[in-house]
Structure 1
């Protein structure tokens, strides 16, 4: 594909200055946790860690992608806020957050903001 793209096309493709950054999240729950407890955890997670920080979560109860709730990119600060919220949650045995990554083209590196 041509690299000399118009601004409109770059925006539509979410590339260059319109690149959108987020991170992947994997959750591992305590064994024998009731479905109601997991649902309550996910409701709290969505409300307190995601929506409260202007983020969006796409995925299931054990794996998903965290991105900005509107067009744009997640910051390292927002990633740290989610990490802090997850620390010490008794419902989880462990969790992993990926480094910030391009949410549309995961194989591409993140373009530094000028």
Structure 2
């Protein structure tokens, strides 16, 4: 079977063209997979950051717990003693500023 030179050329060109397409497609695949990898790495980094931050939070709250353990009574400046504690003083309280003290 005789094949003309022209036919050979045409066929080899077709082959080349097809292989080019293959290459291009495989490149696209590579690029996509790279993007995927990059996204996954970024995700990992974010997760790590979250973990680290929550660790820090835990540690800080632990420290706070340790500080408050020694105190059995609440701090004295924000509660009134039982019985009022002011009835025998002659200085004005915030109730009776309008009256003369001691004889109101």
Higher strand share: 1
Higher helix share: 2
Higher RCO (CA < 8 A, seq sep 6+): 1
Same topology, TM > 0.5: no
If the TM-score is normalised by the length of the shorter chain, which range does it land in? under 0.3
TM-score (norm 1): 0.19
Larger Rg: 2
TM-score (norm 2): 0.21
